[in-house]
Every structure is written in structure tokens, then in C-alpha cells.
Structure 1
Amino acid sequence: MSELLFECYKIPSVCYGVDSLFSFHHNNPEGSSGLVVDLGYHATHVLPVIEGRVDPSRSRRINVGGAHIINYLHRLLQLKYPAHFNSITLSRAESLVHEQCFLAVDYQAELQQWSDSEHYESHVRRIQLPYTMPVVNPGLTIEQQKERRKELARRLTEINARKREERLAEDEEQLNQLLAAQDLLDEGEEEEFQNVLESYELSNVGDLQKMISSIQARIERTRQKIVAANTADDPIVEESKVKQIKQGLRPKEQEEFESWIEGLKQKRQELLDRRNARRQRRQDMAKRRTAAAQERMRIISQLARKEKRDDNFGMRDEDWDVYKVINKECGDSDSDEEQKLLELEEVLRRHDPEFEGSALGRASSSADTAETYQLHVGIERIRTPEILFQPSMVQIVMNKPVGSPKAGLAETIEIKFDMSCSQVGSPEAGLAETIEFVLKGYSVDVQSLLVSNIFLTGGCASMPGLVPRLEKELREMRPFESQFHLTLAADPVLDAWHGAQELIASMSLSRCFVTRAEYEEKGGEFFKEHSASNHYFPSPVPLVQAEIVPAPACVEEVEIDVF
């Protein structure tokens, strides 16, 4: 770091310190003793400070911090809502940790409370995810539907009239050909007449006369249908029906207007309930083990057990009643009810300004769509921060062993969060066990001195419920009726900066700053100690190797006898 700052950025001097110790000295008088618990973003440190100086030999680090809480919540929500995998981002998980999560004083008792449905409904947080409102095609009004029906009826009439005319022309052409064949017989040309009979697959003159008579009768019927279609007055009949329906939806003079509106609303609700019940019954009929399907199969089995010589089912009125029981949901009453529902809603929208319902019950579609894009953050509110006290709940691949004294207090560590790792949980101890381990390394008097001022700092120290949870854990681990005191930093996030500012203002720069000349003389690992710094241990001087003098090579004389 010093090489980067001096060589690249050309700074004149630099001072190194531990952020949690800066925060401790900012909130406590000089020379104070206490146990600093630094809950940082990547790790948690427990630092014993005795008379203003940190004891690095008994300091410990837990490789769990705010980043792991955020990643844990992020992963839990993605597993819980796989359909919104891309919408559940780390930034959204971080905001949920800051706004919704808290530490439970008694985790197991809190879990039991969350198992109650009433407690869940009153404490769950519903987070609305962004979504695009689907474009709903509004239904046609009554007037538009009438115009559409008229247009369809007109088109159908034109198609039928065109088909009748085409059929009439074909029959007239065939009749002319048959009459021409009959004239051939009258003229005595029997050979050509026989060829015509063979082409029409006729055997004699009688068959020809029958065919001519049938075609003439068909032509007459077609002409009558054309005349009847041209003189029909269907639109008038339809208008009269609509007028009768509309008159039934108007309030009578002796009835009050409000009671009339309530009656229309009740009729509309009955139609909606009837339609929903019919749809639910259809769904139940598709399932094998529902009561509706079993009742249908029971009636069919009773019919199958009856001994009948002839298949005359349907000849009696009782058979039709049985058919209606079996096939309740296959009628064509849906279109009629929907038509009545549209008419009722049209009248309600015209006379009741407070009515906001839409045709065919589409008003709740937007609400249903919004609910499908909601995150229900319930037990995750206490489960994610619990990894500070139970790291075994989450999987962490660590670079250093548990509580390694070789790791520096300000050393940057790399922690990889891997949910697919074969390792189950983290083998590290939680925050309460680590504090107890650190305290056991001192005598009883020093323990009492440290627990009298347990100082909490770092970003995660602002987590709601941390102080009551630590008080409960310390009360369980400390001797009976022993005294301890927990103190939370005034600003757990910015007090480290305030403490560094006060330190620089109170000390001379030469006592805590490393100048460029000292860097060039003593190297990049050198730094000056002060009340908020690590202990400086210079690198050992490499051993000077003795000069090795090469020994003279030995020459050996060998005598060889040649025969």
C-alpha cells in the first residue's frame, strides 16, 4: 500500500490505523480499557484494549460480516421466488437488510412465534417488485355488441342468399339438361337419349321423370326461401327484446332509488358467485379425487348396474333428469349470464358513480397481477442476521483458520460465498462464543475490566436487537450476578473517521505519519505505532551467507595394463 501511495500518487506522508480503534478512542477517554466488537462488512473482530493499547495476541476475527448477511438473504429470496430470480438483486437485498431485518433476543422462541399464522400475517413484510401493468382489452358496450350482432347477422344473411342463388342456378341448369334429354326421346334419337341416361346413371324414362320432378320441387322451395329472407324483419324483433330487458332494469316510481341500486348490485353479485361456483366445479370435475367427480362416477356406475335389454336411455323424463345431474356444467348458460352481467354493469355505471366494477369481473386482475410480484419477507428477517451468532447456518470458504492470531487486524481478507460447496456450514464459533473465548484468556480482574466496557462499532452494530441479544448471551456466560456494560457507538459507521480526525489533531504529525524519506529508507512495510494502530514487527534481516571457496579438483592417476 505504501509503495502505491508514494510511487503512484506522490503523497507526502501517510498514517495507518484500525478503524474500530479510532471509533473506540472517539467515544471513550484516553487510556480507557474495554472489549471492542467491530462488526464490519467482511469480518467481525473482537479486540481487547487494556489501558488504551490493543492486545493483538488475544484478538480474534470471525469471517462473517454484513456482506454475508446480504448474500444470505439474497440467496434465500432467490430460492423462495425462482420466478423473480433476476428482480431480486443484491442492492434490493441490501436495502431489505437495512430496513427489515433484526436480531431476535431468543431465536428459537421467535421461530415458534412465526409458526403461528396470526403472528406471521401481522409481522410479514410484503415488498412490491416493479412490474408492467398488462394491457387489458376493455369489453364492448351494449351498443357496440348490438351493432356487432347486426353486422354478423347481415353478413350471414348475405352468405346464405348467395348460396341459395348459386344452388338455384345449378338446379335450373341441370333441369334444362334433363328437359333437353326428354326432347331427344320425343324426336326419336334413342341412341343419344341412352347416352344421357348413362351419364346421369338412370335406367329408364321413369327414373328421368322422377329426377325432373324432384329438381323442380327443390327449385320451388329455394325460390320460396329467397322470398322469405328478403321480407324478414328480424332487427325489429331484436330491438323489441332489448327494450323489454331495459325496462326491467329501470327503477319503478314507487321504489326508492338506493334500494333499486342495491338490488342491481345483489343480482350482479349472485351472477358472479354462480359463475365462479360453476368454474370451480369444472375444475373439480377434471380432478379424479374431488367430491364432484366421485358423485358423477357414482351416478354413472348406478346406471351401468341396471339390467336393460334394449338401450332406451333418454326415452323417459327421469333419464333427462339424470343427465342434467351428471352434466351440470356443460350447458350454454355462460353466454346468457355474461350478457345479463354486462347489462347490469352498464346500468350501474350509468346510475351509480361509485360503482367501479368492470365487465366479467376483470377489476381484480390488476390486483392479482400485483400480488404475484410481491416478496413476502417473513422469517428471513431474523434468519439472515442470525449468522453473526450461528455461522454454521451459512457456507463460507475461508482463507484463514478459525481465530487465527496471525491475521492482522486491518488485513483485507477475501471470503467466497459458495452455496454449492460440499462443506455444510461454517465451522467458526459465533460472536458470543468468540467473546467468551477471548475473555477466558485473561485473569478474573482483567475480565471484569473488559466486560465493564464492551464497545460495539461497525456498520452491522446498528442492527436492531443487537444490544439486547448480546446482553442475554453475556448474562448466560458470565458468573452469577456479575456486572457488565454494553456501549454502542454514537455513529457506528462514521465514528472511525471522527476518531482519526481527533487523533491527527491531538498528535504531532511526526509521531504517527510516515514521510516519504522514511519510506525510502525503511521500505514499504514500515509504519509508526500509536494508540489506534497495529503493533509493528519489522521483517527479519536475511542471513548473510558465508563466502564459499571452491576446493581444488583432485586428479587421480590410474594405471591400465594393456595385454
Structure 2
Amino acid sequence: MPVVSQIQRQLDYSLIPSSTPIVIDNGTSYFRIGWAGEDDPRVVFRNIIQRPRHKTTGETVTVVGDHDPALFKYFDCSRSGPRSAFDSNVVYNFEIMEWILDFGFDRLGANGSGIDHPILMTECVCNPLYSRSKMAELLFETYGVPSVAFGVDGVFSYKRNQQLGVCRKDGLAVCPGFMTTHVIPFINGEPDFRGSCRTNIGGFHVTDSLKQLLTLKYPYHMSRFTWEKVEDLKVEHCYIAPDYFAETRLFQKGAPEAESKTRCWQLPWVPPPVEEGPSEEELARKAAIKEKQGQRLREMAEAKRYSKINELENELRGLEFLLRQLDQVEASGIPSFLAETGYVSKQEVESAWTKASQSLRKVKGEQAELEDKPDQSPSEKFNLIDVPDDMLTAEQLKEKRRQIFIKTSAEGRQRAKQRRLEAELERERRNQEDEERRLENPELYLEQLHVKYKELSEKIEQRKRLKTNGGHTNGNNQSGGVGRGERLNAAQRERMRLLTTAAFDRGKGEDTFGARDEDWELYKLMSRDNDDEDEGPDPDEAELIRISSRLQELDAAFVPKLEMGISQPAIEVPKFRPLTEEDYRVVLGVERFRCPEILFNPNFIGVDQVGLDEMAGVSIRRLSCKDQELEDKLTQSILLTGGSSAFPGICERLEAGIRMIRPCGTPIKVVRAVDPVLDAWRGASAYAAALQFRSQTFTKMDYYEKGEDWLRRYQLQYSL
């Protein structure tokens, strides 16, 4: 598990003598501070700050290190991400650094009067002068520190393990950290920074890669893959494969060894409640309510029906009384008699009586009898159709046109109904034949459908190309490009000819088109819909749609062509599938060794740099000692230290990689530090507790007198 922050405020600061130095391991990931000579740091927290706003007042607060999850209840932490003072492994933002130092000194127990203890602070290899001088200025000017010393964290870790007998005086320190990885050669117990090298790859990139893989693999659990949780998964489950490609093939084949190396993380899952059907009492209650509502609707409909019947009966009685009075009035006096009634003629009153009587019979339920036993035969109903127009009055001509329209509409509806019935019967017959053929030989039937679908598709495409190109291509244009006239079909070209002729004739004088009847005949001719596109649905396209639907039912791999402009049947969108217990199980398989592999192959994430094994060879070559005995001493004591060196299998993989780049027979020994995380602080604590430590520091007076340039030549002597 990663180090848990210990942010309890210490209470013994005033009891510590002012001669006791304060040791600070200013790491990119964690900030550790404590007293020299002790085995463990007093305060440990993440080296980040966060500045959320209060949800109610909008006030900004500064949270240093690990934030309390309870803050999310009162503060909006989503808009202000964590910020670090480091760029790679170099401190560049000293405003954030001041917040972190304030918090660290406060947790150590210091008051606001200043720090009166010497300070030993770790830094990166070959720290730039600007960063070192600004850090010294911050410590001297802001906190009043009497003296300061800077040392490399990886060197302190190597020196501590050298004292414990883990490594020798001559060797290599390989330090995979949080943001970078360093290799430092040691000769006679002192680091030789001329042969050191750095790669911008570390534990941050491993965690970030694992987070991205899990997010892509389980997109519906993105909120659960927080940085802290992914860091825990990396520390608990990731390892370095002895042979990456062999391990990958093992998981690809699904071997039993791969299953034994797979780890599962079961997220909390609550099964969805099972919806039980309604009980018999509930069904009976709902049926009673439904019956009661239906009875009420029936009563309302019946009351409305009786009201309508009474209204129509009253209207009929009034019309019958009016007709009896009209029988007693002379023909010449009928218009004046009907002037106050709203009717014009006796025929109109009779027509109104007929409509009212038909409506009354329909409301009373006698319509079926009227349809079964019509009062009039077709010849009596349409008695004016065959009568010449010169033998009819104006009113009769109007009635004749109405009868013609009614008869034509009825016959058209009957023909359309008959066509629909015949088409339905034909469709059923063809479906039955298709089903019989499919049952006889399903494979042959499916193959024939594919062949027919392909033939119809090519036929329709060819016809559309011919229609677009006018049936031919231009001889001067071999690529198929045609002019406007060639893209028109015969009917469209005829229409354009008529329009051109009419415009030419009328252009000679005043535009009087439409004044004569023959002009409108020309208009009808031009407006006649005789294009091929409007003749109705193409039977080939209808057959293609039918075959496409059939293939979608029988062949799951069939994909219809959508580029022909044919309306394909709508594809049913799959419904949302509820998440099961299996979906809440996070499986870590190939991710366990794929993410840490970037320490040896940074090109996996697009970083064009070398890995750990090649860095060791580069560091040895940079020394240019040309002493085989010294090179053998360096490879016999290779120490792995740093937070990212705790992966299982990293020592064996590093030893195998170095053996491939060194001459045959070279003695190679790779060991891991006793505590890769805290050995840097413990080594610095032991160094600061030595009596000779004061000779390795520079005081505030030296800083004021010699200035920042003196820091360029400052070098700590690690062997006291």
C-alpha cells in the first residue's frame, strides 16, 4: 500500500535543541520532514495543493497534501485540480512550494517566529542553479533558516544501503521515481555525476497508463477509477514480466497460467429488485375500476346518442311540416315563402329531409340494414349520368356532375381495395413459396437470395446511371461527364422544347400567354406528369427491399447497401442492457504487466527514450574509464531504489536486460534497497546527525556575502 499521510501536528518542537537539523525529503510525489538521527519522518503527505471554493460563500481555501473526502460536502473540488510545484523533478513554482513548506513546518510543530534549525533538503541530480538559488532564498528570507545543505535523494539511499551491506562502494544506483528515472554511478563511495543520466519516465506514467486502460475497458465505472484507487491497484497487482512478448502470447492464447495470473476487483453491486406481479386482489380491484369507468363512458355515450336522436327527430318534424305547407303554396310563391326559413327551393328542403332521415337511421343503428337493403338501385341513384346535357336544367346539370364524381370516387376506391387485396394475396403466396424453398435447402436458398440481391442492386444502379447520363456518354468526354441536355430524359427535353417555343413566339410582341384556350392546352401539356420518376414505385426496388429484409432476418452478417437512395427498413436499435454482477467485476489481466513495461520500453506511450537496462549501459559508457575491472565492479553492485522499484520481477528483468548489452561473462548483480521509499530520508537523517555535517552547510551570512553564484560550485561531500 502507498504511504498514508501522517498530518497530525507534532507537540515536541520546543523540546528539540536548535542544533538538531531538520531533514526534508522533497520528492515529486511525497513530502517527508523530520528530525535528524530518527529512523522515520515525523510528517508525510503528498506534495500537492488544491484550492477549492466553498459551495455557499465562494471563499477559496488551500488544501495541502491529501484532502479529506468530507471536503466534497462543503467545497467544490471538481473545478480546482491538484497542483504541484515540480516540472518533471525540478521545483519551478515557488509559490506552491511556500504553501507546502508552511504546512510541513506547521505540522512539525514550528510556530510563526521562524525556523532556527539547520536544514538538509534533497534535490534532483544536477539541479539547475535557478531552482537551487530560489529554494535557498525562500528558506533564508521567508523562514530565517540559519544554514542549509542540499543533497541528492538517490545518493542518500545508496549510502544507507552501503552502510547496511546491501551494496558496495563502487556501483550503480538506478532510481525510478515518480516523474523521472536516474542512474548514478558511484566510484569509491562518491557519486560521479558525469556518468549520470535521466529518462522522463516514472511511476506517474505507469499509473496514468493503467488509469486510461481501465477507463477504456470499463467506461461505465469511470468515476470509480480515481487516481488514489488506481495507484493502490498498481502497487498491489502490477509486476514486471521476465519476457514481455512471451507473457503477452500467454494471455492471448488463454493458457491456464494466464488465468492464474489474472486478478479481479469486485465492485459493490446490488441486484435490481425483482418486480413481482400484482396479486389477485389487485387485479380484481383494477378490473373493477376499469369496468366502472367503462360503464360511465357507456352511459355518457348513450345519453349523447339519445340527445342526438331527439335533435334529429325535431328537425325531421320541422322539415315535414315545412314540406306539407309547401304543397299548399303555389310554385310562384315558394321563394317568398322560403325567404325566412333559410332555404331557396323545395328541392333543397327535400334534400335536407333526406340527409336528416339518413342521419337519424344511422344514429339508431339502422345503417347496416340500409347497406344490406339499399332503397335505390345504382341506376336509380345515378339516374342523370346517361342523360344528355341539353335535356337538363341548371340544377340537374349540377346534380349530374355530383353523381359523376360520387360514382367515379366509389369505383376508384373499389379498384384500389381490390388491388390491395390481390397484392396481399400475391405477397402471402410468394412468402409461402419462399418458406417452402428455405425448408427444403436453407443453404441453397440463402445463396440464391444473395445472388438475386446482387443482381437487382447492379440493375438498379445501372438504371440510375443511365437516367443520370441520359442513356449515353459524350464522345468528347471519356470520363463520363455529360452536359445538361444529355442528363435530361425524353419527357424533360420535350417540356423544354415547348417552353422554348412558347417563349420565342410570345417574345416577338406583347406577352399575351393565357388569353386563348390553346395556351392553356399547352400549359396542360407541359405540366403533364410523364416522367419516369413519378410513374409509381419501381417493382425492382420493392423486390430489392423485400429481399434485403429477408436477408436481415436469416443472415446476421448481412449489411444492406444504403448508398442507392432506397428506403431501407429501419434497423431496430438494441435496447439498454441492465448491468449485471459480471459488469461490476474489474478484471486485471494483461494490464498487470503491460503498464509497468513502459519503464523498460518508454516508446509504448510515445516517449522516444531508453529504458532502465539501456540507461545503465549509457551511464557506464559516459564514464569513459576504459577500465574493465572498474566496469565489472559497477555491474556487480546495481542498487534499485525509488518508489517505482518495488514491482515484483524488476530485479530479474533489469539483470537480464543489462546482460544483453554487456560483454559475455560480465558479472552482474542487481539488488533492491531495503526500503526503496524511505531509504532516501533515512540516509539523509543519518548524514545530518553526523558531527561533520555542519562543515557541509552554507549559512545565511555566506549566502548574503557570496551570492547565488557560489551555489553553482556547491557540492556536498557524502563520505564524512
TM-score w.r.t. structure 1 length? 0.56
Among 285, 291, 300, which residue is 1:153 paired with?
291
Q: Deviations over 1:29-52 (max 9, x none)?
A: 397222111111121111111221
Mapped partners of 1:469, 1:375: distance in 2: 27
Matches of 1:152 and 1:47, distance apart in 2: 86
Deviation at 1:159, TM superposition (A): 1.0
Could you say which residue in structure 2 is the equivalent of 1:41?
178
Q: What amino acid sits opposite 1:103 in the alignment?
A: I
Aligned to 1:506: 690
After TM superposition, the structure 1 = structure 2 runs for residues 317-466 of structure 1, keeping only pairs within 5 Å, are 367-368=579-580, 372=583, 375-395=586-606, 425-426=607-608, 428-440=609-621, 441-442=624-625, 443-466=627-650
Q: Secondary structure, in 3 states, of the residue corresponding to 1:28?
A: helix
Is 1:6 aligned to 2:134, yes or no?
no
* Counterparts of 1:189 and 1:88, CA distance in 2: 99
Summarize the Cα distance change of 1:394–1:184 in structure 2 as closer, same or farther, 3 Å threshold. Answer: closer
Aligned twin of 2:653: 469
Letter in 1 for 2:617: E
SS at match of 1:104: coil
2:153 aligned with 1:15, yes or no? Answer: no
Match of 2:151, SS?
coil
Distance in 1 (alpha carbons) for counterparts of 2:351 and 2:290: 42
Deviation at 1:133, TM superposition (A): 9.1
Tell me if 1:495 matches 2:706. no
Query: What residue in structure 1 maps to residue 396 of structure 2?
Result: none
Quote how far apart the aligned CAs of 1:9 are: 1.2
Give yes or no for contact 1:514–1:528 (8 Å, CA) kept in 2: no
Unaligned 5+ runs, structure 2: 1-134, 369-441, 453-549, 554-575
The answer as to whether partners of 1:87 and 1:129 remain within 8 angstroms in 2 is: no
Q: Is the 8 A contact 1:178 1:212 kept in 2?
A: no
1: CA distance, partners of 2:218 / 2:673: 37
Identity %: 31
Unpaired runs of 5+ residues, structure 1, are 222-290, 302-325, 330-363, 396-424, 534-563
Structure 1 residue 166 and structure 2 residue 304: aligned?
A: yes
Q: Which of the numbers 162, 173, 188 marks the counterpart of 1:28?
A: 162
Separation of aligned partners in 2, 1:101 and 1:56: 32
TM-score normalized with structure 2 length = 0.45
Letter in 1 for 2:144: K
Change over 3 Å in CA distance of 1:464–1:5 after alignment to 2: same
Give me the whole-angstrom Cα distance separating, in 2, the residues matched to 1:107 and 1:438: 24
**Relative to structure 1, is the Cα distance of residues 166 and 213 closer, same or farther in structure 2, using a 3 angstrom cutoff?**
closer
Q: Is the 8 A contact 1:78 1:88 kept in 2?
A: yes
1:10 deviation in Å?
0.6
Q: CA separation of 1:217/1:47 partners in 2, compared to 1, >3 Å: closer, same or farther?
A: closer
Letter in 2 for 1:445: E
Specify the code of the residue in structure 2 equivalent to 1:8.
T
Residue type of the alignment partner of 1:198:
E
The answer to whether the Cα contact below 8 Å between 1:453 and 1:484 also exists between their aligned partners in 2 is yes
* Change beyond 3 A, Cα 1:532–1:157: farther
Q: CA RMSD in A?
A: 4.2
Give the stretch that moved more between structures: 193-202 or 174-183. Answer: 193-202
Worse-superposed segment, 176-185 or 91-100: 176-185
Alignment of 1:299-318 (within 5 A): none
Query: Bigger relative contact order, structure 1 or 2, given CA contacts below 8 A and separation 6+?
Result: 1
**Structure-to-structure mapping, 1:76-95, within 5 angstroms:** 76-80=213-217, 88-95=225-232
Count of aligned pairs between the two proteins: 368
What's 1:542 paired with?
none
Deviation (angstroms), 1:68: 2.0
Write out per-residue CA displacement over residues 513-532 of structure 1, whole angstroms, 9 at most, x where no aligned residue: 22222222333343452117
Contact 2:173–2:638 (CA<8 Å) still a contact in 1? yes
Of 78-87 and 514-523, the range deviating more from structure 2 = 78-87
Contact 1:175 1:216 in 2 (8 A): no
Equivalent AA in structure 2 for residue 172 of structure 1: N
The change in CA–CA distance for 1:196 and 1:528 in structure 2 (over 3 A counts) is same
Q: In the alignment, what sits opposite 1:529?
A: 716
Letter in structure 2 aligned against 1:437: V
